[in-house]
Amino acid sequence: MRVLVYGAGQLAQMMYLAAAPLGVIVSAVDVATETVVNPVSKKPTGISLANAIEEAQAITVEFEHVPEHLLVDADKSQKLYPNIASIMAGADRVREKALLSKYNIPNCPHMIINDVSQLDQVLSTLGERVIFKASRDGYDGYGQWRMADASDLDKLRTEFAALDLKKVPLVAETMQDFDREISLIGARDKDGNVKCFSLAENLHHQGQLHVSVAPITGLTESLQEKANKIFDTLATGMDYVGVLAVELFQCGDELLVNEIAPRVHNSGHWTQQGADTCQFEQHIRAVLNLPLGSTDAHSISAMVNIIGCTSFSRDLISIPGAHLHWYGKEVRAKRKMGHINVVASSHKALGDKLNNLLAFLPLEHFPELKAEAARLQAN
C-alpha cells in the first residue's frame, strides 16, 4: 500500500516512520517544485507526480496551505483524504469561521474585515482588546496584530490600508480571557468511526507552541466528553477522514474553538510515546480505512519543541522516559528543529523529569519550560 503526502516537512517524515511497520510506503511532494521525494532524505524518487497519484491508495496533506491547483488535481483522483473542502477550511479563517457557525460551535466573537472602513465598528462590536488575524497563510504567530486598547487603532488602520483586504481579509476577534489553551486530536475513518485522544494542555510563547502536556491536569470526564462532542460534530459534518486537530480555549467549564487543523498536529506529538497508537499511525490507518487504533494514554506525557537552536546536549536521553525526535533541518530563528517527548507515571513525576531536562538545554530557547516543570511538580 502507498500513501502520497503533499508537503515534505517533519510531519510527512513522521508519517513515513509510523507507516513503515504497517508495510505502507509513504512518499512526499515538495509543493514548491511539485517533485516527489523521500520524506526522510528529501531526495527525488524519480517518479512523476502523475504516476505517484496513480500508484497511491490514498493522498493526504501535512499542512493546509497546499497550492489550490495541486489539491484540485489530487481531488480528481478521488483518493484525497481529508476532502478538499476540509483542507481549505483549515487554510482560510473566513471559511473556518463559517464552518463553526454552520454547526453552532462556540468560538470567539469576531468580525470579517475586508475594508479599513470597517475598523470603526470594531470597538463597538468587539471591545478594545482585539486580535486581528490574516485569513490565510498565517501560522506560529505570523500574520497577527494585537490591539491592546483604542489608542492602537490609528496605527493599525495605517498598516491595514497597505494590505489587499479584498484578496486576504482579516478576522478580528475579541481577545478572550481564558483559563488555558488546550487541544484535542482525533481521527475519523471512511465508515464514520471516531476515536479521540486525551486533551492536551498547550503553552505558547510569542504565538508559537513550546510545550504540550497530556492528559491535561484536572481532566474531568465531562470536559473530555464536551471536547469529543465538538470533534464529532465537526468531523461528521465535514465527512472528514483522517486526523483532525481542534484547538480550544477553556473558560471554566466551557470550551471555545480557536482554530482547526486538518492534519496531524504539533500538539499531538506526545502520542508517539504516550499513547497506544500515535497520531501519525492513526492518520495512515484512517486514510487507508484500516481499523483505527486505541487512543488510550498509558503515561503522563510532555512534548517540548526545540525551536531555533541546535546547542543542546543529546545526553538528555539519559533521563528515563525522554525521547528525542530530530528533523534534520538547517537552523534558523523560530524554526522547529525537533522535539523531545518525556513520559512519566504522574504529573508530579513528569515535572521532576522536565526539571532534570533543563540541565541539558540552553534555557533562552526554552522560556516556558522551567515554570511548567514547577507547575507540574506542585500537582
What CATH number has the domain bearing residue 40? Answer: 3.40.50
Residues 90-108 as b or e (16 or more Cβ within 10 Å = b) = bbbbbbbbebbeeeebebb
Residue 118: what are its φ and ψ, rounded to 5°? -70, -15
Domain that holds residue 290: 180-377
Tally the residues of the chain. Answer: 379
- For residue 141, pLDDT over 70 is answered with no
What confidence tens digit (pLDDT) does each residue in 117-132 have? 998 899 889 998 999 9
What's the whole-model pTM score? 0.95
Q: Is the domain of 235 the same as that of 133? A: no
Q: Is the domain of 362 the same as that of 247? A: yes
The count of structural domains within the chain is 3
| pLDDT for residue 243 | 98
C-alpha cell at 328: 534534520
Residue 131 in any domain: the answer is yes
- The residue whose grid cell reads 499542512 is 63
Q: Is the domain of 21 the same as that of 169? A: no
Q: What is the mean pLDDT of residues 245-272?
A: 97
| pLDDT for residue 137 | 77
Vertex 84: Cα angle to 19 and 284 (nearest 5): 10
